Amino acid sequence: MRRCAGCGRRAPQSELLRFAARDGVLVAGRSEPGRGAYTCPSVACFDRATGRGQFARVLCRPVRVGAELRRLYTGDGHG
């Protein structure tokens, strides 16, 4: 079980999107090395995690979050 960086919901890893920091930039991918951060596949959770700086907090390092990552998400709600 992993915790969404946006809403805090716990869910199986397979239901969540995974991110990691590569050279100070947030990148998506299950095979990215290092510590991972997770969100629900909901853009609302991405926006919440970004607005609160949760990616940096979860990854324990400063990380730049590109707006293009929003394209990975579909829909506005959970589900």
Residues binding Zn ion (CB under 5 A): 4, 6-7, 9, 40, 45
Q: Which is nearer to Zn ion, 33 or 79 (CB)?
A: 79
CA dihedral 12→18→4→61, nearest 10 degrees, is 140
Residue type for position 29:
G
Tell me whether residue 21 or residue 40 sits nearer to Zn ion (CB atom).
40
Instruction: Classify strands 37-39 and 17-22 as parallel, antiparallel or unpaired.
Output: antiparallel
CB of 22 to Zn ion, least distance (A): 23
* Pair type for strands 25-28 and 2-3: unpaired
Based on CB atoms, which residue is closest to Zn ion, 1 or 24?
1
To Zn ion, the closest distance from the beta carbon of 23 in angstroms equals: 26
